[in-house]
Amino acid sequence: MNTTKTIKSALISVFDKTGLEPIVQKLHEQKVTIYSTGGTEDFIKNLGIPVVPVEDVTSYPSILGGRVKTLHPKVFGGILNRQDNETDVQQMKEFDIPQIDVVIVDLYPFEKTVASGASDSDIIEKIDIGGISLIRAAAKNFKDTVIIPSVNEYALFLDCITNNNGATTLEERKTFAAKAFNVSSHYDSAIFNYFNKNHEETVLKISEIKGAVLRYGENPHQKGFFFGEFDTMFTKLHGKELSYNNLLDVDAAVNLMGEFKNDKPTFAILKHNNACGIATRKTMKEAYLDALAGDPTSAFGGVLIANGNIDLATAEEINKLFCEVVIAPSFDDHAVDLLEEKKNRIILVQKEAVLPKTSVRTCLNGILVQDKDLITDSKSDLKTATKTSPTQEEIEDLLFASKICKHTKSNTIVLAKNRQLCASGTGQTSRVDALNQAIHKAVSFEFDLTGAVMASDAFFPFPDCVEIAKKAGITAVIQPGGSIKDELSINYCNENNVAMVFTGIRHFKH
């Protein structure tokens, strides 16, 4: 059986007309009868190309302010009829239904309208009814009908009808049908999520239509993919393709630096999703050098991020280090030229972008979803639990350490001094182990912990951590509090002139 079909008629009803003109011109050259509605009909007429108004087929005008144009048996019969079904063929003749061989649709931009902050009434009007119905109908009947479901497929369709003189194969029609159901399912998911923004229905619908195949996953034997719009967050200036692990580190870096967005020049170095160095200083060069001093060993092969412009002086220091990725909201031109000397080094300009407020991860045979930890501890949150109050300098260091602690794997302890990360204990099974790890690292890199502060992501059930910290030189502690044995730690601090503040907020990160 010959499954190649030549297009003789087309229904075109689109929102985005970018790239539509050459398609219409080509269909006209191939003597295709074109049906259309509303603005698309006017567009085709203005090209000087004959077009049949859909209302001439249905004998009904566009009604209800344009809400109903194509919803009619004569339209959907022309799309859904099975050309090898005798009953369908007879009914097409009986009801004088025109055959429609191709349907070209581009839906109302629902997601863009939501993102624009439009009113509810404007958003509701951008829920496409006729277009989505046309897409589903034509895709269902792919054996006989071609569906072009969005502006993204215009070019592919034009190539198809140009190269094949207006004919399509069954395989081509099935490919377009798959693209159509991708469009329709994503569109419906976006609408549902808009209506369910208060989570009245405990249902998860995730749809990402822009995906990229990565070189591999965490390890070479694992496949890896990224689904999202990377280009809306970054302009990539240079370097190799980002890997799965690069992307995880970039995500961790962006979330951490978000805590310091409006601070003085701040620079962070991350490795395996944790900060191994971070500092806030008067200049970006000073911030980088002091961040590097936090752990120059771990910084090798790390991801670097700044909260402000990277100038040439900073770039000259960065260029001495082997690093995978450098991220900043801007770079001086000469800084970029220098950093590009390493051909594989990835340079990213971070744009203003809205990040999701929920996190999603697989778990067992299902999925875990939660609100992101969007609380940043501030001075107003602090409750002094000890007789000794922290100094203004210590408060600034405590809040600095707390921001880092929030973005470090639990169990974690962060030690900081003068807005510089001295060391952290990351991902330990015991808070005591985390503290000992942090102290050992700080000492190994010759930090003087006298007058330093300590941040913990959770409370202390025993006074052992504050005792160890005091002996190392720590003078102030920030923790959430809430243990039934808080008094044990408070008493030790009172007896040893250590200031301790409670935030009331735990920052576990698993």
* Active site positions, annotated: 140, 272
Number of CB atoms found within 10 A of residue 73's CB: 12
Structure tokens that stand for 246 in this block: 């690069």
Radius of gyration (C-alpha) of the chain in whole angstroms: 31
Structure tokens that stand for 202 in this block: 């405990």
Does the bond joining 411 to the residue before it have cis omega, within 30 degrees of 0? yes
Vertex 9: Cα angle to 5 and 10 (nearest 5) = 105
Listed in sequence order, the DSSP H helices in 196-283 are 244-257
Sole residue written with tokens 């744009």:
351
Residues 6+ apart with CB under 8 A from 272: 249
Q: Are residues 41 and 33 in contact, defined by beta-carbon separation less than 8 angstroms? A: no
Give the strand pairing for 499-502 and 421-425: unpaired
Q: In degrees rounded to 5, what are phi and psi of residue 74?
A: -70, -30
Q: Are residues 431 and 466 in contact, defined by beta-carbon separation less than 8 angstroms? A: no
In order of 60, 173, 191, 327, 438, the CA distances from 111 in angstroms are 30, 27, 8, 28, 46
Q: Per this entry, what is the length of the chain?
A: 510
